[in-house]
Chains A and B, each alone.
Chain A
Amino acid sequence: MTSKKVEKRREVSIRFCGDSGDGMQLTGTKFTDETALAGNDLSTFPDFPAEIRAPAGTMAGVSGYQIHFASEQVYTPSDSPDVLVAFNPAAARANIGDLRPGATLIINVDAFNKKAYQRAGYTEDPLPDLRERFHLVEIPLTTLNREALSGLDLNQRAIDRCKNFFALGLLSWLYGRPMKSTERWLESKFKGDVLEANLRTLRAGWAFGETTELFPVSFQVPAAKIESGTYRNITGNQALAWGIVAAGQLMDRQIFFGAYPITPASEVLHEVSRHRNFGVKTFQAEDEIAAVSSSIGASFAGNLAVTVSSGPGIVLKQEALGLAVMVELPLVVINVQRSGPSTGSPTKTEQGDLFLALYGRHSESPMPVLAPSSAGDCFTTVLEAFRIAVKYMTPVMVLSDSYLANSSEPWKIPDVDTLPRAPIQFATADDSGNEGFQPYERDPETLARPWAIPGEAELEHRIGGLTKEPVTGNVVYDPVSHAEMMRLRGEKVDRVSADVPPVEVDGADSGDLLVLGWGSTLGAITAAVDEARKAGQMVSRAHIRHMNPLPSNLDEILGRFKHVLLPELNTGQLSMILRSRFLIDIQSLTKLAGQPFLVSEIRDAIDSILNNS
């Protein structure tokens, strides 16, 4: 049976889609794990509705998971999948708009009855049209799965629920993915007949591939040549969580994590809560305000404090964050941005909270802001946020987003011994001079005030949100102290820029066009620039992690290019900041659709600038 022809492919992208109840996210994740173990580079994009179970068979309930894998570097989930696996007519209808003509469309033909296609909004049988436009592969998935599982002591519903694993088995065969990781996962998750059913249908799917006439060939995507090391798959939220746990270890201090459930940030709380054996204290508060307030309290008491949320929750935290700025205590605030305004689309992505992070508090309330650019980078960025927070005694905001949160990529696991260790220096009785302890005495280099924690003798002091006198921290209302403390808080944050790596330009140092980005757009920008260069265009690229303060060499770099293109998933927030800061004409490319950039969108913008210049 293995006599079928095997063809080599450089890259493939597949989208699994079905009802939210069909297990598409699970199918996608397991296929991703298999792909990672096959040694490919990959990028994924889970896209699901906010409703837990929207009415079955409707467009509203369609959940999708896309994976792009290759024998070379992969930057995005791909604009248009090569293969769409649709579990029902609604899933097909919701997704075929993204397919190229002639792309492969694998459907569960059992689900294409009249009732189902009507519920999906088709007025007539869509199959003839689909056959025309795509390479349609019609598989009776429900029937095949039932046959494979006949004789098991499970009811019909439970049996039908397994059919996603039949599809997974089939796709695993089609692309030569090893199924070991999936089998191991099933064994760890299920027992008895349910385990047996899933394993059996998974293997039946593979065997079906080997025998069916429907697939005359299977494909092989050779392992990618990537830097040597030990890798794993990681999502942005998982990396954030592990970054938090790691910070406690590297700084040798207990973590306090106050949070309130919110999409798409809750998984960070879930993941950290599983690791209490690291001495991490997770606290589910009664609301967003209590989540941040308890975290600031924990910081006052000497813990490494972190709070995680998304836009609507961050807005609620802002008053307390103003206090954190005022009392100058370290705190990491993670904002997994989602599209708004208001409830918006809770599961969809956006970079709309840059202004919120920078200017969302009343009065002048500066705080450093960082943005990770990939799932794995979330880990590094959290460590960097804690470093800055503690060194400069300041809250720091991290801007992740829904795309980074859920998408995954292979991540080279860092060697724990090489991660920066930074034990904390708390103030001691020795810091209490003749005048007594001065809570706002500043480090001459960083302008940080001392971190003096309850329990330490002779450092008793009071802090609060009222205007204070420099050095003593006594409550005063005089204009000179007020102005001086304003200046000091601002300058302290500005000084962080001397302590962050300069922006690096990828490509020529100067020229016609620099594509500048921040945060999660890195993949799409890199892929677009790559394509442009392959097409002979001269394009450079730079990406910013430190959003505030901006890297000190940024001004100078921007000045070396005739055009600067800045794609952002907002209405041009960073563009506006850079224009006003540096008085240069940034060309802003914006998108507000709850979806990441397509490579082609950035590519088109590059073309139009270069062709018109």
Chain B
Amino acid sequence: MAAPASELTRKDFVSSQDVRWCPGCGDYSILANVQRVMPEFVDKKEDVVFISGIGCSSRFPYYMNTYGFHTIHGRAPSFATGIKASNPDLSVWVVTGDGDGLSIGGNHLLHSIRRNMDMQILLFNNKIYGLTKGQYSPTSNPGTRSKSSPQGSIDYPLDPISFALGAGATFVARTIDVDATHMQQTLRRAHAHKGTAFVEILQNCPVFNDGVWEDVQDRKQRVENSISLVQGEPLVFGTPGNLRGIVMEGGDPKVIDLDDEDDPVSKGVVVHDEHLESTAYAFALATLTRPECPLPVGVFREQRKATYEQMLEQQIEDATSAQGAGDLHALLHSGDTWTV
């Protein structure tokens, strides 16, 4: 556990606004965990900005006692881009959902990830539109019956992890609303990353899509249905007596059974590596689907790359040393002039 960076406590990040999510909504625990880890990240809360779009998750900034901007549907990453570019010293957090971030705002999410600004993007995935009262979303399971799909949805769903990997994300992780310890660890990793950190948080919407993540939220089932990605550790899951591991066969991940005394590595079980040059491995992990395979949680990928704002500052510096500091009089008189 990182030592607290400041005198701040969780309470300092709690705003005076009444939280207005439905009882039992997964957003509550996400909010609590974010408020709990923030004191580790900053010593001045005025340096923190939370930016959101529209949707249930996007109410988040109102409940954080930091600077906050509740913007318009799908555009939060663009507002965040302007904020971070203007003042790179700020700690910038985007909060979005599956509808906000992947449907109406898909373009902005894609491009903000690709630019690699140093910010955190938390995408709460409940596989449904909540605030508009229950329509299927781009991540809904095929056949989801909702108000707008009474016969079941016929869209193929989008996987947020693959989306982020495809956009060239330098940090991609997944965590679960109910797993406080894992979420805090993941948030720490996301914050420590220099560049855009994309975190999918599996979130339950008890009102419109209850139980959609039950097999990984329920403590007992989770052991069987999810696999925790840990750098340098083999991909093993399950409980003693029923351990299994992931091997790669011709590039495709496959589950094999393990005996308790087996050395998983010698059995060919893959050792997790976040830092591989190629995205192929991370994509392969993202395609693991239940019930045959477990759902990975943790950090899929981390890469170091220069951030957009660093390069922007550098270009301004370069331009200034090449052209000299801007001189308005000289600019207006540049090129051909004549005096009457």
Contacts and interface: CB of A to CB of B under 8 A. Distances in A.
B67 interface: yes
B81 A276 contact: no
Interface string B316-340: 1001101111101101110111111
B328 A416 contact: yes
A497 B72 CA distance: 30
Chain B residues touching A, range: 35 or more
A50 interface: no
A320 B17 contact: no
A413 interface: yes
Contacts of B110: 286
B71 A323 contact: yes
Given A231-B339, A281-B85, A302-B87, A461 B68 contact: yes
Interface in A250-294: 254, 256, 258, 275-281, 283, 285-287, 289-290, 293-294
A210 to B, nearest CB: 25
Contacts, number: 205
A463 B15 CA distance: 13
B126 interface: no
Given A293-B78, A456-B46, A463 B339 contact: no
Contact of A462 (B15, B333, B339): B15
A535 interface: no
A303 interface: yes
B72 A320 contact: yes
B108 interface: yes
A277 B338 contact: no
A460 B65 contact: yes
A560 interface: no
A280 B335 CA distance: 21
A477 to B, nearest CB: 11
A297 interface: yes
Interface residues of A, number: 70
B242 interface: no
Given A242-B332, A293-B75, A413-B332, A256 B322 contact: no
A305 B86 CA distance: 10
A182 to B, nearest CB: 10
B51 A297 contact: yes
Interface stretch (A2-10, A32-40, A345-353, A566-574): A32-40
Contacts of B325: 277-278
B89 A296 contact: no
B329 A416 contact: yes
A297 B80 contact: yes
A592 B70 CA distance: 41
A526 interface: no
A478 to B, nearest CB: 15
A277 B78 contact: no
Contacts of A296: 71, 79, 82
Contacts of A289: 75, 78, 108
Contacts of A300: 69, 79, 82-83
A320 B74 CA distance: 11
B164 to A, nearest CB: 16
A471 interface: no
Contacts of A464: 61-62, 68-71
B331 A254 contact: no
B337 A254 contact: no
B315 interface: yes
Contacts of B70: 462-466
Contacts of A37: 336, 338
A295 interface: yes
Given A286-B111, A416-B328, A294 B337 contact: no
A154 interface: no
A275 B78 contact: no
Contact of A277 (B47, B51, B65, B323): B323
Which of the listed residues B65, B89, B312, B340 has the most CB atoms from chain A within 10 Å of its own CB? Answer: B340
A301 B335 CA distance: 35
Contacts of B15: 462
B69 A297 contact: yes
B78 to A, nearest CB: 4
A286 B333 CA distance: 34
A242 B331 contact: yes
Contacts of A301: 49, 82-83, 86-87, 90
Interface string B296-325: 000000000000000010011001101111
A228 B339 CA distance: 7
B336 A455 contact: no
B66 interface: yes
A277 B322 contact: yes
B147 interface: no
Nearest to A291: B78
A454 B82 contact: no
A301 B117 CA distance: 16
Most buried by B among A230, A232, A301, A413: A301
A231 B87 contact: no
A297 B86 CA distance: 8
A388 to B, nearest CB: 21
Nearest to B309: A281
Given A230-B337, A231-B339, A289-B75, A256 B85 contact: yes
Given A278-B326, A323-B72, A305 B82 contact: yes
Interface in B276-309: none
B219 interface: no
A54 interface: no
Of listed A246, A293, A295, A458, residue having the most chain B CB within 10 A: A293
Interface string A454-498: 111111111111100000001100000000000000000000000
Name the residue in B90, B110, B338 with the highest tally of chain A Cβ atoms < 10 Å from its Cβ: B338
28 contacts: A39-B340, A230-B337, A232-B338, A249-B328, A258-B82, A276-B319, A277-B325, A278-B328, A279-B320, A285-B111, A290-B81, A293-B75, A298-B82, A299-B82, A302-B87, A303-B86, A305-B82, A320-B75, A327-B69, A413-B332, A453-B87, A454-B67, A462-B64, A462-B67, A462-B68, A464-B68, A464-B69, A475-B62
Shortest 10 CB-CB distances between A and B: which pairs?
A464-B70, A297-B82, A278-B326, A294-B82, A293-B78, A297-B79, A462-B68, A298-B82, A286-B111, A276-B319
